[in-house]
Amino acid sequence: MDDLSRIRNIGVAAHIDAGKTTTTERLLFYSGTIHKMGDVDDGTTITDFDAEEQQRGITIYSAAVTLHWRDCRINLIDTPGHVDFTAEVERSLRVLDGAVVVFDAYEGVEAQSETVWRQADKYKVPRICFINKMDKTGANFAGAVRSIEERLHARPIQIQVPIGEENSFRGFVDLIAMEGVLCEGERDGSTWSGGPTPAELRDAALAARHALDERVAELDDELMAHYLEHETLTADQLRAGLRKGTISLRCQPVLCGSALKYVGVQAVLDAVCDFLPSPLDVPPIEGADPNDPDKRLKRKCSPDEPLAAIVFKVVADPHGDLYFVRVYSGVLKANSRVNNVGRRRKENVPRLYRMFAKRRDQIEQAFCGDIVAVIGLKETLTGDTLCGPNNPILLERIEFPETVISMAIEPRSSADRDKLLAALKTLTRADPTFAFKEDADTGQIVISGMGELHLEVICHRLERDLNVATKTGKPRVAYRETITRSAEAEGRIHRQAGGKAQFAAVTVRVEPFTPAPGEPLLRFASRLPPGKIRPVWLPAIEAGCRGAAQNGALGGYPLINVQVTLLDAEESAEESSEVAFEIAAAHAVQRAMEQAGPVLLEPIMKVEVVTPEDYFGAINGDLNARRAIITNTSMRGRNHVIDAHAPLSEMFGYATQMRSLSQGRASYSMEPSHYDPMPPDRARKVLGML
């Protein structure tokens, strides 16, 4: 099947525990991809295939699986729900055309749903909403829809009315077909029946249908004209209007259900086919011309265009690493040669696979619009563009946030040191938000990531999957440095090394700079007058500058939000070398940074705490003592919601403290927000100057 209009590339996103995994599991089951229903609570679901996730009951590593529904092929990317893994969500959204956002009918919009929603706005991803857990005591469909409208400033359009509530919830009225759907036939809900609207709901359903007609009519002039004349729209008009409105991001159809109790999930699959875009409905992908960075190139989703594809995920697999690829234009063929322009490498694409939940099918080619896995790439990493050998294009790189927390790590037995380093390398390949560094002087190995849980998970993986037992130090804040004014300096070396003279001189300017979203935090530019030195030295100069910036001017922390400009350089025909230029450039940057008013930056976290009234005062007071700035307080149901920004350094062990302050009743979520300059007295403490 290669009718592109019948492909849906979608993700399911949600706040942790809203029911994303359960919903995904049911989607796979009803579409016949798996034959036995799994349960999150006994660790048997398919997408949570990582044992770590099963233990914790959360989804960390996303996997792409294909399923079929009606005449559509749905490529489903499982996005993680935990706050420490926001980057994973962001990365998936980048390659998706549409998303199902799952909400808890009792909680409504939660912190993480808000984050996901904002990211989906950023990447212009059309959405449908699934209000899950309608069976739960206190479930409130209208309240959840209202919170989507108010907290997310969205335009949710209700296309169903629930039948029964809480314990007795058993189906819904489909407002488009105007029929009642009861999902109680078989225990697993795989048979369901459409019928008349239950009598007691007839008035409510008619009113809701009327509201639906009106809201859809508002989306389109032609529909409005019809509506004004006939005071109603037909089912086909509603579907077409909702589809158009959803794809142009002007509305979000809302459905209700209970994944756990097998209610309403087939309707979600229908809605995916009906309302979410096919690859043909989204704008052509844009990229840069690698031969001329100022030129923008566009590629349509057409098999006749040259190949453009992005690798968005690498998953370690016993049969060889799986490189998950979204093909945007052209055709990706097995046994072909492609260009990885970003790395200036040619790559062989030996084998292609379509991934199902429990099996994979080897395929010969993947058309534009599809998501498939490649095995056998050698030099490609997450975020790289693959394109045809004669038509280079560089798609925008997937951006990853800076790591905010780090921890020393060593093998339990020193004989395992090389094994540990190899394992860490494997992990960084699969997870771009994870990094490690080996101190050249002390040999200490430091790993860094997005939060305490992230590093904890990494250590478990080292031990369990990669078989290296480790000891770790205390988690530490990953500080950064920046400068407050611009400065220029020269680095000059002229010395004897092993009987050979070495000469190079480099002058640079460093200045504060605010990167645009997605732009690297350190920018290097050359304003060298032409003909001053031979261009062969430029890469060494850039490497020297970057190396020095990486080591900071105060406490060895990487410099960010800085532009380094090469102003001048001198060479000697006899005595210059790459090493000499690299050292001279590093000296120049080092001296310039020292004169540029360097300051220490600390990561600030965005925190949301949800607490019953009784503990509000205690939680608030504790946050204040942690240097938090409360940005908003509001009510969600009977609970207070506190939004705050707080320095990560003050938030260690917060989970325990918050639990004891609220007798376990409050909950919170936290994610990196930005970097702020540290108060000088605290900075001095960090730098060991007190």
* Contacting positions for Mg ion (CB under 5 A): 21, 59
Q: Which of 4, 10, 13, 14 binds ligand GDP (CB under 6 A)?
A: 14
Q: Cβ closer to ligand GDP: 262 or 503?
A: 262
Binders of ligand GDP: how many residues, by CB under 6 A? 22
Residues whose CB falls within 8 Å of the CB of residue 299, separated by 6 or more in sequence, listed in order: 284, 285, 286, 287, 305, 306, 308, 328, 329, 330, 393
Could you say which of ligand GDP, Mg ion, none residue 22 binds, taking C-beta under 5 to 8 angstroms by partner kind?
ligand GDP
Site string for ligand GDP, 123-162 (x = CB under 6 A): ---------xx-xx--------------------------
657: number of Cβ within 10 Å? 14
Q: Cβ closer to Mg ion: 56 or 351?
A: 56
Per-residue tokens: 228: 């004004």
Sole window of 12-20, 242-250, 450-458, 678-686 interacting with ligand GDP (rule: CB under 6 A): 12-20
Contact status, residue 93 vs residue 120, Cβ threshold 8 Å: yes
Q: Which of 4, 18, 395, 548 binds ligand GDP (CB under 6 A)?
A: 18
Sole window of 10-18, 87-95, 352-360, 506-514 interacting with ligand GDP (rule: CB under 6 A): 10-18
Could you say which of ligand GDP, Mg ion, none residue 640 binds, taking C-beta under 5 to 8 angstroms by partner kind?
none
Q: Cα–Cα–Cα angle for 39, 44, 45, nearest 5°?
A: 70
| Least spacing, CB of residue 53 vs ligand GDP, in Å | 9
What Cα–Cα distance (Å) separates residue 540 from each residue in 264, 274, 445, 478, 586? 60, 55, 26, 28, 10
Q: Does 683 bind ligand GDP (CB under 6 A)?
A: no
Radius of gyration of the chain (CA): 28
Q: Cβ closer to ligand GDP: 20 or 243?
A: 20
| Least spacing, CB of residue 189 vs ligand GDP, in Å | 11
DSSP string, 289-350: ETTEEEEEEEE-S-TTSPPEEEEEEEE--TTS-EEEEEEEESEEETTEEEEEGGGTEEEEE-
Number of H helices, E strands in the chain: 16, 38
Site string for ligand GDP, 249-278 (x = CB under 6 A): ---------xxxx-----------------
Q: Cβ closer to Mg ion: 57 or 143?
A: 57
Q: Does 16 bind ligand GDP (CB under 6 A)?
A: yes
Q: Which of 8, 20, 127, 313 binds ligand GDP (CB under 6 A)?
A: 20
Hey, which residues between 77 and 116 contact ligand GDP (CB under 6 A)?
81
Residue nearest to Mg ion as judged by C-beta position: 21
Could you say which of ligand GDP, Mg ion, none residue 87 binds, taking C-beta under 5 to 8 angstroms by partner kind?
none
β-partners of residue 509 are: 488, 565
Give the Cα separation of 397 and 311 in Å (integer): 10
Residues whose CB falls within 8 Å of the CB of residue 492, separated by 6 or more in sequence, listed in order: 504, 505, 506, 584, 587
Could you say which of Mg ion, ligand GDP, none residue 7 binds, taking C-beta under 5 to 8 angstroms by partner kind?
none
Give the Cα separation of 16 and 201 in Å (integer): 33
| Least spacing, CB of residue 466 vs ligand GDP, in Å | 25
Q: Name the residue among 89, 145, 151 with its Cα closest to residue 120.
A: 89
Q: Does 59 bind ligand GDP (CB under 6 A)?
A: yes
Q: Cβ closer to ligand GDP: 43 or 290?
A: 43
Q: Cβ closer to ligand GDP: 39 or 614?
A: 39
| Least spacing, CB of residue 316 vs Mg ion, in Å | 20
Q: Cβ closer to Mg ion: 59 or 197?
A: 59
Question: Hey, is 647 helix, strand or coil?
Answer: strand
Q: Cβ closer to ligand GDP: 19 or 603?
A: 19
Site string for ligand GDP, 22-41 (x = CB under 6 A): x-----------------xx
Cα-Cα-Cα-Cα torsion 525, 527, 529, 530, nearest 10 degrees, comes to 40
Per-residue tokens: 622: 């504790």
Q: Cβ closer to Mg ion: 59 or 258?
A: 59
What Cα–Cα distance (Å) separates residue 679 from each residue in 473, 475, 553, 686? 26, 21, 17, 11
Residue type, 535: P
Q: Cβ closer to ligand GDP: 100 or 569?
A: 100
DSSP 8-class letter at 402: P
Hey, which residues between 298 and 357 contact ligand GDP (CB under 6 A)?
none
Give the Cα separation of 596 and 577 in Å (integer): 29
Could you say which of ligand GDP, Mg ion, none residue 17 binds, taking C-beta under 5 to 8 angstroms by partner kind?
ligand GDP
Q: Which of 6, 52, 57, 543 binds ligand GDP (CB under 6 A)?
A: 57
| Least spacing, CB of residue 20 vs Mg ion, in Å | 5
Could you say which of ligand GDP, Mg ion, none residue 512 binds, taking C-beta under 5 to 8 angstroms by partner kind?
none
Q: Cβ closer to ligand GDP: 183 or 510?
A: 183
Distance of CA 16 to the CA centre of its chain: 14
Could you say which of ligand GDP, Mg ion, none residue 259 binds, taking C-beta under 5 to 8 angstroms by partner kind?
ligand GDP
DSSP string, 132-175: E-TTSTT--HHHHHHHHHHHS---EEE-EEEES-GGG--EEEET
| Least spacing, CB of residue 437 vs Mg ion, in Å | 31
Give the Cα separation of 230 and 172 in Å (integer): 26
| Least spacing, CB of residue 85 vs ligand GDP, in Å | 12
Question: Hey, is 70 helix, strand or coil?
Answer: coil
Could you say which of ligand GDP, Mg ion, none residue 431 binds, taking C-beta under 5 to 8 angstroms by partner kind?
none
Give the Cα separation of 106 and 161 in Å (integer): 16
Contact positions vs ligand GDP (CB under 6 A): 14, 16-22, 40-41, 57-59, 81, 132-133, 135-136, 258-261
